[in-house]
Amino acid sequence: DAKTTQPNSMESNEEEPVHLPCNHSTISGTDYIHWYRQLPSQGPEYVIHGLTSNVNNRMASLAIAEDRKSSTLILHRATLRDAAVYYCILRDVGSGGSNYKLTFGKGTLLTVNP
Amino acid sequence: EPEVTQTPSHQVTQMGQEVILRCVPISNHLYFYWYRQILGQKVEFLVSFYNNEISEKSEIFDDQFSVERPDGSNFTLKIRSTKLEDSAMYFCASAPPLRTGGEKLFFGSGTQLSVL
């Protein structure tokens, strides 16, 4: 899986927007950009994914650079419950088939201040 | 939303003993995974399972580990002879049939294994 680079930690205030960056300069044409998060003492949880276009869902928005070498996860109004480790993961499904694993890096630890 | 369930939530065992960690994936899912996370470290891939066989395993998944889907609903991870370094949180995950490449993995809440 291609490598991603994320800041080790970020801090935000409650009810303010948060922009979590991710660099993936070696991304290939068949890599999807996935974001997961891990709340304290829980398993990872899907947040959002995209390929080329920006994406929105009820949890967050994903902004993908035109050259796809970076992306930003946007939490529009951070809450205390959003405090977690956020992982940006590239997922190559170009070869298809039965292996569909995710490879986790260290992620970004997001702290939300009340 | 459907959930992946894991039992037990905590397992304490003596070094050298066998343990079986159990998972019930989401019912229409076809891809199954085990991951582990040692305290303070990254979530590490152990094994993926599809069509009743292992599709990929990491170097962590040595001969002491095995997986099984014995009855079409449960998915188990067995460690034959536990070592101290096997102490970790073990996560099971499942994914629906592959369509576009964007399908998400659903993770359970984990089993904390402590080897004494």
pLDDT in tens, A20-59: 999 999 998 888 899 999 999 899 999 999 999 999 999 9
Amino acid at A78: A
Task: Identify the pLDDT of residue B53.
Answer: 92
Interface contact flag, B42 A105, Cβ < 8 Å: yes
For A90-103, what is each residue's pLDDT tens digit? 987 655 555 677 88
For residue B106, which residues of chain A lie inside 8 Å, CB to CB?
46
| % residues pLDDT > 70 (chain B) | 96
CB pairs under 8 A between A and B: 66
- In this structure, the number of other CB atoms found within 10 A of the CB of residue A85 comes to 22
Q: Which of A52, A48, A33, A36 is nearest to A93 (CA)?
A: A33
Residue B101, pLDDT > 80, answer no
The reply to whether B99 touches chain A by the CB within 8 Å rule is no
Task: Identify the pLDDT of residue B104.
Answer: 86
Contacts with B104 (C-beta within 8 Å, 6 or more apart), sequence order: A34, A46, A49, B95
Interface contact flag, A102 B45, Cβ < 8 Å: yes
